Amino acid sequence: MKRFFGWCLLACASAAIAQERAPIRVDNWVYYQRNIDDTDRWQYRLRAFAPFDLGGGWTFTQRADLLFNYTDKKGPENPSGGWATGVGDWFAEESFSTPELAKNLKGTLGARFVFPTGGLSPFGSGQYQWAPVLGLTYTMPERGLTLAPLARYFMSYHANETAAAKVRRLDFYPTVSQRFGEGWTFSVWNENPISYNDITNKWFVPIDVLLIKRLSKSTEFAFGGAYGLDKSDPQYRYVVNGRLTFYF
C-alpha cells in the first residue's frame, strides 16, 4: 500500500518535470479538530496534485493524500483513550477537467479510492471505499469570482476489519471563492464539506471558511476552519486548519 502511494507521488513529480505550464502542487496541511465528546485530534496531511494536459481542453489530475494523526479519542485502535499516534486512511483520486461546456464553465469528473491504512477508529474506517466525483467550475474573471460546486459519494466495498461499519456518505462542497488584490482569496466550503449519511439519513452541516494568500509564484499560504451548525450526524465541534503550499 505504501509502495502504491510512493508511485503516486513519483508520478506527480514526473508530471511536474514533463509539463512546465502544469507544475506539481504539494500541500502541507495541519488540522486541529475538537470532537463532539470533548476529545481532540491533531492531523498532518501531505497532499500532492499533478495535472497532465491531454490536449483539446482536457486535463487529467492525479492526487494523493497521506494522513497522520495524534489524538486522545477512544476506539478499537486506542482503547485507553490516551494520546496516541497513527496513520489515517490514505487515498488517491483521479479526475478529469473538461473543455469549456459554455463560456467560463467547465466540468470535473473522476473517482477517489480510499484504503484502510488507519485500521479502525479513531484512525481509520476499516473499509476500502470508492467515491465518484462530479463538479462544475464557473468563473467570472471580471469580478474575481469562482463558483465550484463538487460532490463525492463514498461507498465501502470491502471491510478490512470485522468491526468495520458500512459507509454510504455524500460529501458536498458548494465552493465559492472571491479573489482580492495583492494575491488574497477568500473561500467558503473549500476544505470541509457538508455531509449526508445515507445509512442514518442524517446531516452534518458546517460553515467552512478559508483565507488564501499567494506569496510568490511557487509558494502559497492558507488559514481557516469550520464550525458544525447542524450536527445531527456528529463529526466534530470545530476545526482549525492551515496549509503551506509549494509549486514545482
For residue 206, which of 246, 237, 168, 244 has the smallest C-alpha distance?
237
Q: In terms of pTM, does the model score above 0.85?
A: yes
What is d(CA 134, CA 149) in angstroms, rounded to the nearest whole number?
A: 9
Print pLDDT tens along the chain (248 aa): 545 555 454 555 454 444 445 789 999 999 999 999 999 999 999 999 999 999 999 999 999 999 999 999 999 999 999 999 999 999 999 999 999 999 999 999 999 999 999 999 999 999 999 999 999 999 999 999 999 999 999 999 999 888 888 999 999 999 999 999 899 999 999 999 999 999 999 999 999 999 999 999 999 999 999 999 999 999 999 999 999 999 99
Print burial letters for 159-177: b (CB count within 10 Å at least 16), e (below 16): bbbeebeebebbbbbebeb
Task: Report helix, strand or coil for 82.
Answer: coil
Nearest one of 150, 83, 88 to 125, comparing CA atoms = 88
Report yes or no: 120 and 126 within 8 Å, Cβ to Cβ. Answer: yes
Q: Residue 178 is inside which H or E element, if any?
A: strand 168-179
CATH code, 2-247: 2.40.160.40
Which helix (DSSP H) or strand (DSSP E) does residue 134 occupy?
Answer: strand 127-140
Q: Are 115 and 128 in contact (CB under 8 A)?
A: yes
- Using the 8-state DSSP alphabet, how is residue 102 labeled? B
